[in-house]
Structure 1
Amino acid sequence: MSTRLRLRQLEALECVAETGSMTRAAEVLGISQPAVSRLLSDLASEVGFQLFDRRDGRLVPTQEARFLLPDIHRLLEMLDHIGEVSRNLTVRKAGHLRIACLPGFATSHLPEVLAHFLSDRPGVTATIEPDRPERILEWIVGEQYDFAITDNFDAHPAVTSQTIKIRSVCIMPEDHPLAARDVITPADLADEKIIHTRRDSGFYRELNEAFLSNGVEMTSIVEARQFTAACELVLRRVGLSVISELDAAGYVGRGLAFRTFAPSVPHRLALVRPVNKHPSMITLEFMEIFRDSLRAFEQA
């Protein structure tokens, strides 16, 4: 007996068993009655036994056919489920997103964008994994994550990336005297204690150069990797800071003010994904939506 039974044969068997008639089964399946008869004849030849007996004008499954029907029903249900999942994937309603990000993004901006994205996609799930840029790059090169949000990114042959320049601002308590100004310069910060990112970061090097170019030496008080940590410290009046406007905006109405910083020192954010891992439609759509969420903060 061949094990290469055709799906249409199994559908015909189940439908005739349920309706008791080849004519009604043909109507349900949308094919002709002779076509149903041929499918069942071929199936009977394949399995090597009779499939139906006729009783009182109705087709009734034989004992052997009744034995097969539960498995056939489960198989057809499974195929229907696979078809539904496939349709959901096509319309971006199902799937799983694995997102790596800088620690600050795990608690600011990303959750809001992701929550909105998931709200009308009940079949989509997500993983968020925050870590330092070096670790994020390892994950993306190793194809462990679909998409990542990072900075301090240097080109890598196994990674495709898009760099976005986010405006930077000077942050201060709302009642600080500098809050009365529209633009803050290094000269305005000459007597202020500065909270800044790690000294080995590209952002710190550019910021320090901006100070030195204006004849001002930055007075360091705290070195912090995350901009959100800088915001919390400024709120506690430890010092002032120059950070991404994206992070500063999350503290509006919480006692923090921010003003334009000049000269411009943008925070270079990188959106990255593996080159050799074919992205799902869900991944591509989320990347596009996340990219759009940054436009309001992008440096012209």
Structure 2
Amino acid sequence: MNVRQLEAFQAAMTAGSLTAAAGLLGVSQPAISQLIGQLERSCGFDLFTRAGTKMRPTREADVLYAEVQRMFIGVGRVANVAKALRDQTWGAVSVAAFPVFTRRALPEIVTTFCVNRPDVRFSIDSMRSRSLIDAVATQQIDLGFSILPGDRPEVDSQYVCSLRGVCILPIGHRLSAKRLIHAKDLDGENFVALGPNDHSRFLLDKIFEEANTTRRIQIEVGQSETACALVANGVGVAVVDPISVYNNVSPNFVARAFEPVMTFDLWIIKSKTARPFALIETFSEFALQTILRMAETEINVLQTR
């Protein structure tokens, strides 16, 4: 018993005659007769009774036909899944990113990617770069977006771009008319600083030290979005990554280019040891190109207003 014999049997049951079945499969009538004869010998019973050119299925044939139909429905499902995998419209992807990227940029990237892929499922998590590198290394997630390159041998780090830090000021601040804010301009200003655990804190402290500039740090925060909210409330000024102000609709602060230039690098972290999956590679490339477009348009516009 083989699939070709079952196809001939299904066609004969569906079409009602050997001639019509031959037309369905694009073969000759003798070929259909031969395949059904082979299937009958395999089964050990007749599938059709014949009277001249007419044929009627036996009751055994009816029972077998129901099973054959279920089998071909299953084969059809397998074929559909195979096609979806080939077209990369089916599957599951787990992604993690540092918190502000998860809230500001990643939803837009994933939403756009899924527009023509309704059967692709995403799992999205927010974690600090160190943690997500470990998560990719241990294959807890498929892909990570990090501000640090991976420092583990199990991961690959793909550099995406460097984003220039921006100075954010309350609306009506004395410096808001300037298009470029220098570190020296902020001498004596109330300043909202990121905490010592943030990777940019050391770089920013060094910039202000070299500029011989004193800031009045009254509040330290763990995340740059919190700094944006405090600046919007008029607490002080801050220097943050441009992703924090991307799509930020707050009318109470402005973003300006900042010098000396301080950059925030963005990396895509992938596993070296995970089994390959084309959908993950496709999403990774899509995300990379989308981020570059964001960097060239919206984010850079904020730096020059």
Q: Distance in 1 between matches of 2:129 and 2:108?
A: 22
Question: For residues 86 and 171 of structure 1, do their structure 2 counterparts lie closer, same or farther at Cα, with a shift above 3 Å needed?
Answer: same
Q: Is the 8 A contact 2:50 2:56 kept in 1?
A: yes
Report the equivalent of 2:185.
Answer: 188
| Aligned equivalent of 2:136, options 137, 140, 165 | 140
Match of 2:263 among 262, 266, 269: 266
Give per-residue Cα distances to partners, 1:51-106, cap 9 Å, x unaligned: 22225744333222222222221221121122122212222222222111222223
Q: Which residue of 1 aligns with 2:96?
A: 100
Q: Does 1:293 align with 2:299?
A: no
Superposition deviation, residue 33 in structure 1: 2.5
User: What SS does structure 1 have at the residue aligned with 2:240?
Assistant: strand
Moved more, 182-191 or 223-232: 223-232
Q: How does 1:36-115 map to 2 (within 5 A)?
A: 36-54=32-50, 57-115=53-111
Task: State the alpha-carbon separation in 2 of the partners of residues 172 and 158 from structure 1.
Answer: 42
Deviation at 1:260, TM superposition (A): 0.6
Give the C-alpha shift of residue 217 in structure 1: 4.0
Which of 117, 122, 125 in structure 1 is aligned with 2:118? Answer: 122
1:252 to partner: Cα distance? 5.0
Q: 2 CA distance for matches of 1:64 and 1:96?
A: 43
C-alpha change, 1:54 and 1:202, in structure 2 (3 Å) is same
Residues 24-57 of structure 1 show CA distances to partners (whole Å, capped at 9, x for unaligned) of 1121122332332232223223332222222574
Query: Please, what is the CA RMSD of the aligned residues?
Result: 2.3
1:155 pairs with 2:151 = yes
Counterpart position of 1:211: 208
Change (3 A) 1:239 1:269: same
Structure 2 CA distance for aligned equivalents of residues 195 and 29 of structure 1: 75
Amino acid at match of 1:227: S
Report how many aligned residue pairs link the two structures: 296
Aligned to 2:303: none
Q: Quick one: which amino acid aligns to residue 65 of structure 2?
A: L
CA distance 1:244–1:264, change in 2 (3 Å):
same
Specify the alignment match of 1:25 in structure 2.
21
3-state SS of 1:59 partner = strand
TM-score, scaled relative to structure 1: 0.89
| 1:191-240: CA deviation from partner (whole Å, max 9, x where unpaired) | 12322333133322212211112122444333333222221221112222
Contact 1:246 1:297 in 2 (8 A): no
Instruction: Give yes or no for contact 1:186–1:210 (8 Å, CA) kept in 2.
Output: yes
Q: Map of 1:220-299 to 2, 5 A cutoff?
A: 220-252=217-249, 254-295=251-292, 296-297=294-295
What secondary structure is seen at the aligned counterpart in 2 of 1:177?
A: coil
Asked whether the equivalents of residues 148 and 271 of structure 1 are also in contact (C-alpha less than 8 Å), the reply is yes
CA contact (8 A) 2:170 2:252 kept: yes
TM-score, reference length from structure 2: 0.88
When residues 43 and 170 of structure 1 are mapped into structure 2, their CA distance, relative to the original with a 3 A threshold, is same
In the alignment, residue 173 of structure 1 is paired with which amino acid?
P
| Structure 2 residue matching 1:286: 3-state secondary structure | helix
Rounded to whole Å, the distance in 1 between the matches of 2:198 and 2:133 is 15
Q: Deviations over 1:125-183 (max 9, x none)?
A: 21111122233122211212221112234422111112331121111122212111111
2:230 and 2:51 map into 1 onto residues whose CA distance is: 85
Q: Structure 1: which 5+ runs fail to align?
A: none
Which AA in structure 1 matches 2:19? T
